[in-house]
Structure 1
Amino acid sequence: MKNKWVVVANRSEAKIFEYKGSRKGLELLESIENPKGRMKNRELIPNSSGRGKRAKAQKIAFDTKSVQEPKRRVAESFASQISDVITQGRKSNRFLSLVLISEPRFLGMLLDKMDRKSQSMIFHKMGKDIIATNNREILSHLREILV
Protein backbone atom coordinates (compact mmCIF):
# COMPACT_ATOMS: atom_id res chain seq x y z
CA MET A 1 0.00 0.00 0.00
CA LYS A 2 1.24 3.48 -0.84
CA ASN A 3 1.43 6.62 1.28
CA LYS A 4 -0.63 9.68 0.45
CA TRP A 5 -2.43 10.83 -2.65
CA VAL A 6 -2.69 14.55 -3.31
CA VAL A 7 -5.61 15.51 -5.56
CA VAL A 8 -5.47 19.04 -6.99
CA ALA A 9 -8.54 20.00 -9.00
CA ASN A 10 -10.85 22.64 -10.33
CA ARG A 11 -13.82 22.53 -12.71
CA SER A 12 -11.67 22.01 -15.79
CA GLU A 13 -8.71 19.92 -14.69
CA ALA A 14 -7.54 17.49 -12.04
CA LYS A 15 -4.12 16.13 -11.17
CA ILE A 16 -3.60 13.16 -8.93
CA PHE A 17 -0.18 12.87 -7.31
CA GLU A 18 1.46 10.42 -4.99
CA TYR A 19 3.50 12.02 -2.23
CA LYS A 20 6.88 10.25 -2.26
CA GLY A 21 8.33 11.90 0.82
CA SER A 22 10.09 15.16 1.59
CA ARG A 23 13.08 14.39 -0.65
CA LYS A 24 11.28 13.05 -3.72
CA GLY A 25 8.17 15.23 -3.54
CA LEU A 26 5.15 14.59 -5.76
CA GLU A 27 4.84 12.10 -8.60
CA LEU A 28 2.05 12.73 -11.10
CA LEU A 29 -0.10 9.61 -11.39
CA GLU A 30 -2.92 10.93 -13.53
CA SER A 31 -4.07 14.13 -15.19
CA ILE A 32 -7.74 14.49 -16.16
CA GLU A 33 -9.04 17.25 -18.44
CA ASN A 34 -12.58 18.64 -18.57
CA PRO A 35 -12.64 21.17 -21.45
CA LYS A 36 -16.33 21.91 -20.87
CA GLY A 37 -15.38 23.22 -17.43
CA ARG A 38 -13.84 26.27 -19.11
CA MET A 39 -16.94 27.06 -21.16
CA LYS A 40 -19.48 29.73 -20.28
CA ASN A 41 -23.12 28.91 -19.51
CA ARG A 42 -24.33 30.22 -22.87
CA GLU A 43 -21.83 27.98 -24.67
CA LEU A 44 -23.15 24.93 -22.82
CA ILE A 45 -26.80 25.52 -23.68
CA PRO A 46 -27.77 23.56 -26.78
CA ASN A 47 -29.51 25.27 -29.68
CA SER A 48 -32.80 26.42 -28.24
CA SER A 49 -34.92 25.52 -31.27
CA GLY A 50 -37.50 22.97 -30.28
CA ARG A 51 -36.87 23.42 -26.58
CA GLY A 52 -39.35 26.17 -25.87
CA LYS A 53 -43.08 26.15 -25.38
CA ARG A 54 -45.33 28.25 -27.57
CA ALA A 55 -46.94 31.09 -25.67
CA LYS A 56 -50.15 32.88 -26.72
CA ALA A 57 -48.29 35.71 -28.41
CA GLN A 58 -46.18 33.25 -30.44
CA LYS A 59 -43.16 33.96 -28.27
CA ILE A 60 -40.98 31.17 -27.03
CA ALA A 61 -41.15 30.65 -23.27
CA PHE A 62 -38.03 28.79 -22.18
CA ASP A 63 -38.03 26.20 -19.48
CA THR A 64 -35.56 27.93 -17.16
CA LYS A 65 -34.99 24.83 -15.03
CA SER A 66 -33.61 22.88 -17.98
CA VAL A 67 -31.09 25.58 -18.92
CA GLN A 68 -30.31 26.87 -15.45
CA GLU A 69 -26.75 26.39 -14.31
CA PRO A 70 -25.39 24.15 -17.09
CA LYS A 71 -21.88 24.96 -15.84
CA ARG A 72 -22.82 23.54 -12.43
CA ARG A 73 -24.04 20.29 -14.03
CA VAL A 74 -20.78 19.97 -16.00
CA ALA A 75 -18.77 20.55 -12.81
CA GLU A 76 -20.80 17.97 -10.88
CA SER A 77 -20.23 15.42 -13.63
CA PHE A 78 -16.48 16.09 -13.50
CA ALA A 79 -16.53 15.81 -9.70
CA SER A 80 -18.14 12.37 -10.12
CA GLN A 81 -15.41 11.36 -12.55
CA ILE A 82 -12.67 12.39 -10.10
CA SER A 83 -14.50 10.68 -7.26
CA ASP A 84 -14.59 7.45 -9.29
CA VAL A 85 -10.80 7.58 -9.75
CA ILE A 86 -10.35 8.13 -6.00
CA THR A 87 -12.72 5.26 -5.20
CA GLN A 88 -10.85 2.91 -7.54
CA GLY A 89 -7.55 3.95 -5.93
CA ARG A 90 -8.97 3.25 -2.49
CA LYS A 91 -10.37 -0.14 -3.53
CA SER A 92 -6.99 -1.04 -5.06
CA ASN A 93 -5.20 -0.02 -1.83
CA ARG A 94 -3.10 2.53 -3.69
CA PHE A 95 -3.11 5.08 -0.83
CA LEU A 96 -3.49 5.27 2.94
CA SER A 97 -4.65 8.87 3.10
CA LEU A 98 -5.79 11.62 0.80
CA VAL A 99 -5.20 15.36 0.51
CA LEU A 100 -7.79 17.32 -1.50
CA ILE A 101 -7.00 20.79 -2.85
CA SER A 102 -9.61 22.51 -4.95
CA GLU A 103 -11.42 25.77 -5.49
CA PRO A 104 -13.96 26.00 -2.62
CA ARG A 105 -17.19 25.40 -4.57
CA PHE A 106 -15.75 22.52 -6.53
CA LEU A 107 -14.30 21.03 -3.34
CA GLY A 108 -17.84 20.89 -1.95
CA MET A 109 -19.09 19.15 -5.09
CA LEU A 110 -16.24 16.67 -4.95
CA LEU A 111 -16.90 15.85 -1.31
CA ASP A 112 -20.60 15.35 -2.08
CA LYS A 113 -19.76 12.84 -4.83
CA MET A 114 -17.28 10.80 -2.78
CA ASP A 115 -18.41 7.70 -0.93
CA ARG A 116 -18.09 7.56 2.85
CA LYS A 117 -15.12 5.19 2.87
CA SER A 118 -13.15 7.48 0.57
CA GLN A 119 -14.16 10.53 2.62
CA SER A 120 -12.90 8.82 5.76
CA MET A 121 -9.42 8.63 4.19
CA ILE A 122 -9.16 12.41 3.76
CA PHE A 123 -6.16 13.59 5.76
CA HIS A 124 -6.45 17.26 4.80
CA LYS A 125 -8.53 19.46 2.51
CA MET A 126 -7.80 22.95 1.24
CA GLY A 127 -10.22 25.28 -0.56
CA LYS A 128 -7.78 26.88 -2.98
CA ASP A 129 -7.39 26.80 -6.77
CA ILE A 130 -3.72 25.96 -7.35
CA ILE A 131 -4.06 23.65 -10.37
CA ALA A 132 -1.92 25.96 -12.54
CA THR A 133 1.04 25.86 -10.17
CA ASN A 134 4.00 23.51 -10.50
CA ASN A 135 4.76 20.60 -8.18
CA ARG A 136 7.20 22.62 -6.08
CA GLU A 137 4.60 25.31 -5.39
CA ILE A 138 1.97 22.70 -4.55
CA LEU A 139 4.40 21.17 -2.06
CA SER A 140 5.05 24.58 -0.50
CA HIS A 141 1.32 24.81 0.27
CA LEU A 142 1.49 21.41 1.95
CA ARG A 143 4.87 21.46 3.75
CA GLU A 144 3.38 21.76 7.22
CA ILE A 145 0.88 18.94 6.82
CA LEU A 146 2.95 16.43 4.81
CA VAL A 147 5.48 15.64 7.50
Structure 2
Amino acid sequence: MHWFVVASQKEVRIFIKTSDRSKIELIKTVTNPLGTVKKRDLIRKEAGRGTKSLGGHLGSTHYTEGKRHDPHEEAEIQFAKEIAQFLETERLKNSFSSMTLVAEPHFLGKVKAEMGNKLQESVTDWIKKDLQKTPQSEIANFILPKSEPSSFENSI
Protein backbone atom coordinates (compact mmCIF):
# COMPACT_ATOMS: atom_id res chain seq x y z
CA MET A 1 0.00 0.00 0.00
CA HIS A 2 1.29 3.47 -0.88
CA TRP A 3 0.85 6.25 1.67
CA PHE A 4 0.64 9.96 0.93
CA VAL A 5 2.06 11.76 3.98
CA VAL A 6 1.27 15.49 4.12
CA ALA A 7 3.18 17.09 6.97
CA SER A 8 3.52 20.53 8.48
CA GLN A 9 4.80 21.86 11.78
CA LYS A 10 1.19 21.74 13.05
CA GLU A 11 0.02 18.30 11.91
CA VAL A 12 0.62 15.30 9.72
CA ARG A 13 -2.13 13.74 7.61
CA ILE A 14 -1.83 10.33 6.02
CA PHE A 15 -3.88 9.43 2.97
CA ILE A 16 -4.36 6.39 0.75
CA LYS A 17 -5.97 6.12 -2.68
CA THR A 18 -9.59 5.01 -2.68
CA SER A 19 -10.68 1.99 -4.69
CA ASP A 20 -11.61 4.15 -7.69
CA ARG A 21 -8.06 5.61 -7.58
CA SER A 22 -9.24 9.14 -8.33
CA LYS A 23 -9.73 10.17 -4.70
CA ILE A 24 -7.87 9.88 -1.44
CA GLU A 25 -9.02 8.78 1.98
CA LEU A 26 -7.65 10.19 5.23
CA ILE A 27 -6.53 7.30 7.44
CA LYS A 28 -4.62 9.11 10.20
CA THR A 29 -4.05 12.59 11.57
CA VAL A 30 -1.48 13.45 14.21
CA THR A 31 -1.56 16.97 15.62
CA ASN A 32 1.42 18.72 17.17
CA PRO A 33 0.20 20.23 20.46
CA LEU A 34 2.93 22.88 20.23
CA GLY A 35 2.27 23.58 16.55
CA THR A 36 -0.39 26.17 17.27
CA VAL A 37 1.32 27.77 20.28
CA LYS A 38 2.58 31.27 19.54
CA LYS A 39 6.33 31.83 19.69
CA ARG A 40 6.04 34.29 22.57
CA ASP A 41 4.16 31.70 24.62
CA LEU A 42 6.88 29.12 23.98
CA ILE A 43 9.47 31.67 25.11
CA ARG A 44 7.53 32.25 28.34
CA LYS A 45 7.57 28.51 28.99
CA GLU A 46 11.35 28.55 28.58
CA ALA A 47 11.83 31.53 30.92
CA GLY A 48 13.60 30.75 34.19
CA ARG A 49 15.24 27.57 32.97
CA GLY A 50 18.79 28.83 33.49
CA THR A 51 20.90 27.27 36.24
CA LYS A 52 22.04 29.32 39.20
CA SER A 53 25.65 28.98 40.29
CA LEU A 54 27.75 30.86 42.79
CA GLY A 55 30.64 32.66 41.17
CA GLY A 56 34.18 33.14 42.41
CA HIS A 57 33.25 36.14 44.56
CA LEU A 58 31.40 35.84 47.78
CA GLY A 59 27.96 37.33 47.47
CA SER A 60 27.84 37.26 43.68
CA THR A 61 25.43 35.08 41.77
CA HIS A 62 25.81 34.16 38.11
CA TYR A 63 23.16 32.66 35.92
CA THR A 64 24.20 30.35 33.16
CA GLU A 65 22.24 28.62 30.49
CA GLY A 66 23.00 25.78 28.17
CA LYS A 67 23.01 26.35 24.44
CA ARG A 68 20.04 28.55 23.55
CA HIS A 69 17.68 27.44 20.83
CA ASP A 70 14.63 29.07 19.43
CA PRO A 71 11.76 27.34 21.28
CA HIS A 72 9.66 27.34 18.11
CA GLU A 73 12.48 25.63 16.22
CA GLU A 74 12.85 23.08 19.03
CA ALA A 75 9.11 22.31 18.85
CA GLU A 76 9.41 21.75 15.08
CA ILE A 77 12.40 19.43 15.50
CA GLN A 78 10.61 17.46 18.21
CA PHE A 79 7.54 17.00 16.02
CA ALA A 80 9.73 15.96 13.06
CA LYS A 81 11.25 13.29 15.34
CA GLU A 82 7.78 12.10 16.36
CA ILE A 83 6.70 11.87 12.71
CA ALA A 84 9.82 9.87 11.80
CA GLN A 85 9.35 7.54 14.79
CA PHE A 86 5.69 6.97 13.92
CA LEU A 87 6.51 6.24 10.27
CA GLU A 88 9.34 3.89 11.26
CA THR A 89 7.01 1.97 13.59
CA GLU A 90 4.44 1.67 10.81
CA ARG A 91 7.13 0.60 8.32
CA LEU A 92 8.19 -2.21 10.66
CA LYS A 93 4.53 -3.31 10.89
CA ASN A 94 4.36 -3.30 7.06
CA SER A 95 1.50 -0.78 7.15
CA PHE A 96 2.80 0.67 3.87
CA SER A 97 5.22 -0.39 1.17
CA SER A 98 6.08 3.08 -0.09
CA MET A 99 5.12 6.69 0.47
CA THR A 100 5.07 10.15 -0.99
CA LEU A 101 6.16 12.75 1.57
CA VAL A 102 4.86 16.30 1.11
CA ALA A 103 5.86 19.18 3.40
CA GLU A 104 6.91 22.80 3.33
CA PRO A 105 10.61 22.88 2.32
CA HIS A 106 12.27 23.64 5.66
CA PHE A 107 10.08 21.16 7.54
CA LEU A 108 10.62 18.45 4.92
CA GLY A 109 14.34 18.75 5.62
CA LYS A 110 13.78 18.37 9.35
CA VAL A 111 11.65 15.24 8.90
CA LYS A 112 14.14 13.72 6.46
CA ALA A 113 17.00 14.38 8.88
CA GLU A 114 15.19 12.34 11.54
CA MET A 115 14.47 9.37 9.25
CA GLY A 116 16.65 6.27 9.11
CA ASN A 117 18.00 4.92 5.83
CA LYS A 118 15.38 2.18 5.40
CA LEU A 119 12.56 4.64 5.97
CA GLN A 120 14.08 7.13 3.52
CA GLU A 121 14.33 4.35 0.93
CA SER A 122 10.57 3.80 1.21
CA VAL A 123 9.92 7.40 0.09
CA THR A 124 9.30 7.44 -3.66
CA ASP A 125 8.67 11.19 -3.92
CA TRP A 126 9.84 14.11 -1.75
CA ILE A 127 7.59 17.07 -2.54
CA LYS A 128 8.41 20.54 -1.20
CA LYS A 129 4.97 22.09 -0.95
CA ASP A 130 2.99 23.65 1.90
CA LEU A 131 -0.42 21.97 1.85
CA GLN A 132 -1.21 22.70 5.50
CA LYS A 133 -4.37 24.69 4.82
CA THR A 134 -5.32 22.87 1.62
CA PRO A 135 -8.65 20.98 1.67
CA GLN A 136 -8.52 17.22 1.14
CA SER A 137 -10.18 17.41 -2.28
CA GLU A 138 -7.48 19.78 -3.54
CA ILE A 139 -4.71 17.67 -2.01
CA ALA A 140 -5.98 14.75 -4.09
CA ASN A 141 -5.66 16.86 -7.25
CA PHE A 142 -2.09 17.72 -6.32
CA ILE A 143 -0.68 14.36 -5.18
CA LEU A 144 -2.48 11.83 -7.36
CA PRO A 145 -0.84 11.21 -10.72
CA LYS A 146 -2.74 12.60 -13.65
CA SER A 147 -4.12 9.89 -15.88
CA GLU A 148 -2.58 9.63 -19.31
CA PRO A 149 -4.96 10.18 -22.24
CA SER A 150 -5.78 6.96 -24.04
CA SER A 151 -4.34 6.28 -27.47
CA PHE A 152 -7.85 6.68 -28.87
CA GLU A 153 -8.03 10.26 -27.52
CA ASN A 154 -4.62 11.00 -29.04
CA SER A 155 -5.74 9.89 -32.49
CA ILE A 156 -8.76 12.21 -32.59
Would you call these one fold, judging by a TM-score over 0.5? yes
**Matching of residues 65-80 of structure 1 within 5 Å:** 65-66=67-68, 68-80=69-81
For 1:36, what is the secondary structure of its paired residue? coil
CA–CA distance in 2 between the matches of 1:76 and 1:33? 14
Structure 1 or 2, whichever has the larger Rg, is 2
> How far does residue 136 in structure 1 lie from its aligned partner after superposition?
1.8
CA–CA distance in 1 between the matches of 2:66 and 2:41? 16
TM-score, length of structure 1 as denominator length: 0.81
Give ranges in structure 2 of 5+ residues lacking alignment: 149-156
For 1:65, what is the secondary structure of its paired residue? coil
Match in the other structure for 1:115: 116
TM-score, length of structure 2 as denominator length: 0.76
**Matching of residues 8-47 of structure 1 within 5 Å:** 8-20=6-18, 23=21, 25-45=23-43, 46=45
Give ranges in structure 1 of 5+ residues lacking alignment: none
**Matching of residues 84-99 of structure 1 within 5 Å:** 84-99=85-100
Match in the other structure for 1:5: 3
For 1:111, what is the secondary structure of its paired residue? helix
1:48 aligns with 2:50: no
CA–CA distance in 2 between the matches of 1:129 and 1:104? 8
- Flag the 1:48–1:143 CA change in 2: closer, same or farther, 3 A: closer
The alignment's C-alpha RMSD in Å is 2.8
- Number of aligned residues: 143
> How far does residue 14 in structure 1 lie from its aligned partner after superposition?
0.8
Match in the other structure for 1:142: 143
> How far does residue 50 in structure 1 lie from its aligned partner after superposition?
6.3
